[in-house]
Structure 1
């Protein structure tokens, strides 16, 4: 299983141009494909990894690897996740700088990457919104309220507090599956 963990995170790191939120979308799909979702609670690990300091990819990799195969699994997952960007930067950056690659080539590559990142961020956000919608009208309204407050420039802690108060006040006590 250690080898499987390494190659999973290696593959996902190669595909996750765009950072942690793209990686989150990929990892959720891949863990379900491998039927490892019974071994680790992905939504909880995502919540913890996004609240920890540092890159989401390394935090999430370690937490998933650790829940699958202990500390060795966590370290293996981190190695798989950081190896592709390290090698790409190590070998490609000097090549682009020394060979006089045109800015047009680099800009075109990054524009294509931006489109891919936008697609995966939107897919991940739509799954999150749908899961909140399934929790009920009050949860959905508080989610929309929190998002709107943050988009208006309100501090996220204040927006989350408002959403929490709305959910507790009008949502009542509810069993979560």
Structure 2
């Protein structure tokens, strides 16, 4: 079976991305070559999920239209969800790419986030809350879970999704939540 056909099989990406000038400037990288992906994985020390690579081959990072993910417990951001400001692409050139100026290693070394995997999404909290691929259970080459890490609450880790594909498919509009 062709791997490219098994990811996001029932998901419509027609209106997924908000390609604003800001998104294109800060997040959206060129489609990564296989050589670039391998060098990014080597630099990060983790094998990226195939679904993440698949998505990056279609649109490499950016700001989705739907930016919220429901949670079962309160987070720093809200009582029932987290919100992302963008998804980091596979690259080094954009500030908000996996190995960019504000990428995964920056969040771990400069902000003190636990070294449990790869920071993949930032949030409206200006670095005080990040979304990570969590490799603690699966090892550096396994299928990581997606978690929210709250820097303001002693780096509390909240499970969001069992894998990257489920995280992406679970993003919903802000309009689904009450901000009172």
Same fold (TM over 0.5): no
Larger strand share, 1 or 2: 2
Larger helix share, 1 or 2: 1
Provide TM-score, normalisation by structure 2.
0.23
Provide TM-score, normalisation by structure 1.
0.23
Larger radius of gyration: 1
